[in-house]
Amino acid sequence: MQQATYTNLPHGNYTFHVKAYAEGEKISEIQSVQFKILAPFWLTLPFMLASFLLTVTLLILTIRFFIVRSTRKSEEERLLIKELLHREQQQVKMQERMLKLHEKNHKIELHSAWVEGHNHMTREMFSGASHDLRQPLQALVIYIYALREIANDQQLKLIDKAESATRSMQHLIDDYLDESVLDSHIDHVQRSPVHLKLIFENLISEFDAIASDKNLKLRVQVRDLIVYSDASMLERIIRNLLSNAIRYTSKGGILLAGIKRGDEVCIEVWDTGRGIKEDALENVFKRFYQVESDFKGRESGYGLGLSIVKRFSETLGHKIEVKSKDGSGSMFRIRLPLYTPQQFPSKQVPSKQVEADVPLEAPLHLSGGQIRILLIDDEPLVREALCTQIQNWNMNVSAFQSITEMEHLSLIHI
C-alpha cells in the first residue's frame, strides 16, 4: 500500500487521479477524486468585506474624532481667548474705576482737609474770641439792670422781655463757645485740687436771684471738700445743670449737694420740675435733643447744655448719672475723685479764693456822695455800663482801663 502526503496546498479545487492495484493483480482503472480546500476565514470575501468596512468605519471615526477634538480644542481656545479678553477688559474697567475712585477719594480727602481746617480755624476763632463775644452781652445785661431801677411798671414789662431774650442769647453763645473750647482745647485740661465749697458759693450767688424771680427756693448742702478736677470745666458742668433745673422747674425748689462717698465725691442737682420720661433718659445727653415740655420757643433751651455736661465730664473722666420720674422732678449726679495728698502728691491745694458774680444791687448802707468808686475794666462797653449802673445809685465813679492808667491819672490830679 502506498500513500502520499501533501502540505501547504493553496486553497482551491483539486482533482486527484488514482489507480489502485494489488500485488499479483491487474492495475485498476484510473479513478478521479475531487475535493476542495477552503481558504482561511480571514481570506474569505465576507470577512475581507467586513474587515474593509470595519477599517473604513474606524478610519472615519478616527478622522471624526480628530476633527471633533480639533474643533473642541479650537472652541476651548476661542472661549479661553474670549475669557482672557473679558478678564482683560474687566481689569481695564477695574483700573479705570480704581483710578476714578482714587481721584474721588483724593478730592474727598482734600475737601475733608479743607473742611477740617476751616472748622479748626472757626473753633480757634470762637475760642480765642470768647472773651470779646461775651463782653457786649455782659454790658447789655448791666444796662438792663440799670434800666430796671429807673423804669416804671409799663416799661418793666418790656425790660423783662429784653432780659429774657438777652439770657437766651447768652445761653446760646455760652453753649457754642463751650463746644468750641472742647474741640480746640481737649488736650489742655488742667486737673488740680479744687475747693468744691467755693465753686458752690460762686454759683449760688449767681443763680439765687434767678431762682427767686421764679419763686423757687435754691438750697445748697456741701462740706469743705477738695476734689481733683479742672475748676473752670467743673464749674461749667454744675452751672449747666443748675440752669437746666431752674429752667424746667415752675414750683418747688432746687438742691445743690456735694456728698463724700468713700474716695469719691458726688455732686447732685435735684429739682422738683416736670421730670423726664423713662424712654427719653438715654437721649437727654445728645446734642440738640430737647425733652417735650410745656415750655415754648427758645425759653426751653437749645438742647446743648446737657450734651456739653456729658462731654466735659467724659473729658475730665467723671461719671455722670441721671434719675428722673415723669412729673416728680429729676436728679443729676457727677462722680469725681476726692483729693488726697497720698493719691495726688505732686498737686498743691489752692488757697480759698474765688471770683464770684456779685448781683448788681445798690448797697443799702451807703448813700450818694459818701464814697468814691474806682472802676477798672479793660472792656469799654462793660466799663461804661458799670459806670451807668453805679451813677444810678447816686455814687461818684471814676473809670480806668488799667491800673497803670489809674495810677498815672491819680498822680496828675494829686
**Sign of the CA dihedral running 141, 147, 148, 153:** negative
Task: Give dist(CA 359, CA 88) in Å, integer.
Answer: 80
Cβ(191)–Cβ(230) below 8 Å:
yes
Concatenated DSSP letters of 11-62:
SEEEEEEE----TTSPPPPPEEEEEEEPPPGGGSHHHHHHHHHHHHHHHHHH
**Sign of the CA dihedral running 79, 80, 85, 88:** positive
The position carrying cell 484510473 is 30
Model pLDDT, residue 30:
78
Strand partners, 219: 255
Query: What confidence tens digit (pLDDT) does each residue in 317-354 have?
Result: 999 999 988 888 899 999 999 988 776 655 555 555 44
Query: At 356, is the pLDDT very low, low, confident or very high (cuts 50, 70, 90)?
Result: very low
Query: At 270, is the pLDDT very low, low, confident or very high (cuts 50, 70, 90)?
Result: very high
Task: Give dist(CA 300, CA 320) in Å, integer.
Answer: 22
Query: At 125, is the pLDDT very low, low, confident or very high (cuts 50, 70, 90)?
Result: low
Task: Give dist(CA 137, CA 139) in Å, integer.
Answer: 5
Model pLDDT, residue 185:
54
The position carrying cell 425748689 is 253
| Helix, coil or strand: residue 328 | coil
Output the nine-digit C-alpha cell for 343.
Answer: 493719691
Task: Give dist(CA 249, CA 211) in Å, integer.
Answer: 9
Cβ(337)–Cβ(262) below 8 Å:
no
Question: Percentage of the chain with pLDDT > 70?
Answer: 78
Query: What confidence tens digit (pLDDT) does each residue in 185-223 have?
Result: 555 677 889 999 999 998 888 888 888 888 999 999 888
Concatenated DSSP letters of 342-405:
TTSTTPPPPPS-----------TT--TTS-EEEEE-S-HHHHHHHHHHHHHTT-EEEEESSHHH
Query: What confidence tens digit (pLDDT) does each residue in 130-153 have?
Result: 556 667 777 777 788 778 778 887
Task: Give dist(CA 67, CA 388) in Å, integer.
Answer: 113
Check pLDDT > 70 for residue 262: yes
Q: Locate the domains of the chain by residue range.
A: 129-188, 191-357, 372-413
Mean pLDDT of 402-407: 83
Instruction: Determine whether domain 191-357 maps to CATH 3.30.1180.10.
Output: no
| Helix, coil or strand: residue 195 | strand
Query: At 264, is the pLDDT very low, low, confident or very high (cuts 50, 70, 90)?
Result: very high
Model pLDDT, residue 359:
47
